[in-house]
Amino acid sequence: MEVLFTLSALISLAGTLILITQKNPVYALLGLLIAFGGSAGVFKALDAPFIAVSQIIIYAGALAVMFLFVLMFTDTRTQDDRLKLPGAVGSRAVFNPKDSGGPAKAKKKKNELQMPPAVTAALDSIQLPKPMAMVLSLSFLVCFTAAIAKLPADFNDFGPLPASYSGALFVPSSSDGALSFGSTAAVSKTIFEGFPLAFEVVSLLIFAALLGAVLLARRHLAGIPGTQDVGKERDHA
């Protein structure tokens, strides 16, 4: 367990580092995926295999692909990126094929020892740390650390459950003995016996989000400014 956790935590931190330092969105997305993969390992180490699998399916399978789609469909670089991004590939390469690899090629001639161009680009696109953001997030970290340090050693020392919680208490029946902690069966029992209403409400929420996303991203909404295609708007003008 400890080994799995340590490995997963390191992977997760490494992915996070890539995410927050990369200017290139595609690399950053890669970092996010690595961080999520590490988190999945952490979940497994915490006896939550169902969560771990869900993490991989939902984040890696669905969200990451969605991010990627949006990245590829739109030229989503900021003005900052356009000016300062040196020799980056990825989305920039797609839209500006002429510039791609220009500086990289120049480097090639100078140095004998060559790194792969993607790694060079990735190293080039690391952004400098921003002091204000650093200060704020570090103070968050300090606060959280202080809070964690104050926790009792044994979590059961938190004391008894609040009185208002007793209504939802699950009385183990004889069949529950067979279920081990964190198993899929136990989690599904929790969902469908413990919180069926919340589960349904969340399904409704996702449905609403689906409709909302379709409506927001649709093109050619008659009469609503800003929903017209860029090219078409230009034509009309």
- The reply to whether 176 sits near other proteins by the rule CB under 8 A is yes
- The reply to whether 158 sits near other proteins by the rule CB under 8 A is yes
**Pairwise CA distance, residues 20 & 28, whole Å:** 7
Nearest to 21 by CA among 104, 146, 124, 165: 124
Nearest to 8 by CA among 50, 52, 51: 52
Site for other proteins in 53-72 (CB under 8 A): 54-55, 58-59, 62-63, 66-67, 70-71
Helix (H) or strand (E) holding 19: helix 2-21
Of 113 and 146, CB closest to other proteins: 146
**Pairwise CA distance, residues 183 & 191, whole Å:** 12
- The reply to whether 73 sits near other proteins by the rule CB under 8 A is yes
Q: Which of 78, 84, 105, 114 binds other proteins (CB under 8 A)?
A: 78
- The reply to whether 2 sits near other proteins by the rule CB under 8 A is yes
Q: Which of 7, 50, 93, 99 binds other proteins (CB under 8 A)?
A: 50
**Pairwise CA distance, residues 221 & 215, whole Å:** 9
- The reply to whether 155 sits near other proteins by the rule CB under 8 A is yes
In the complex, what is the shortest distance from the CB of residue 58 to other proteins, in angstroms, rounded to a whole number? 5
183-222 footprint of other proteins as x/- string (CB under 8 A): ---xx-xxx-xxx--x---x--xx-xxx-xxxxxx-x---
Which residues lie below 8 Å from residue 55, measured CB to CB, with a gap of 6+? 36, 39, 40, 43
Three-state secondary structure call for residue 22 = strand
Of 116 and 160, CB closest to other proteins: 160
11-40 footprint of other proteins as x/- string (CB under 8 A): -xx--xx-xx----x--xx--x--xx--x-
Residue-wise DSSP of 29-77: HHHHHHHHHHHHHHHHHTT-HHHHHHHIIIIIIIIHHHHHHHHHHS---
- The reply to whether 74 sits near other proteins by the rule CB under 8 A is yes
Q: Which of 156, 174, 222, 235 binds other proteins (CB under 8 A)?
A: 156
- The reply to whether 110 sits near other proteins by the rule CB under 8 A is no
**Pairwise CA distance, residues 196 & 126, whole Å:** 46
Which segment (100-108, 111-119, 157-165) binds other proteins by CB under 8 A?
157-165
